[in-house]
Amino acid sequence: MENIYVLRGFGLFILTAIAELLGCYLPMLWWTGKAPAYVLLPAACSLIAFVWLLTLHPAASGRVYAMYGAVYIATALAWLWLVDGVAPSWNDYLGVALALAGAGIIAVGQRAA
């Protein structure tokens, strides 16, 4: 049963990261002239969703942000590959593995407390 909560939390982090990435990516497209100004509205909605999603985690906010940071790194590299068409390098994979390992240590430490 506890694994369901871990998967739910991990999935929530991924959704949160996608909302943040989209909320920043769309204005960048507009700023560089690659998209019209109306993309700013869904960008703002995406950033509002990002903030709301962060509130759904039960742990203290600092710990949530620390663990979220690792998932954000992994999601951003997936975004790099899927949206930007740039394949991650082995350095990228190593960095993601280290970040996720750090998040795992934080999560396990939280359970012990």
Domain ranges of the chain: 2-112
Position 64 confidence tier, pLDDT thresholds 50, 70, 90: confident
Position 56 confidence tier, pLDDT thresholds 50, 70, 90: confident
Check pLDDT > 70 for residue 50.
Answer: yes
Nearest residue to 14 via CA among 75, 84, 79, 65? 75
pTM for the model stands at 0.84
List of residues 6+ apart from 103 with CB closer than 8 A: 66, 67, 69, 70, 71
Q: Hey, is 85 helix, strand or coil?
A: coil
Q: What is the pLDDT of residues 74-107, one digit of tens each?
A: 999 999 999 999 999 999 999 999 999 998 888 7
C-alpha–C-alpha distance, residues 86 and 22, integer Å: 17
Q: CB–CB of 88/80 below 8 Å?
A: yes
Q: What is the pLDDT of residues 26-37, one digit of tens each?
A: 999 999 999 999
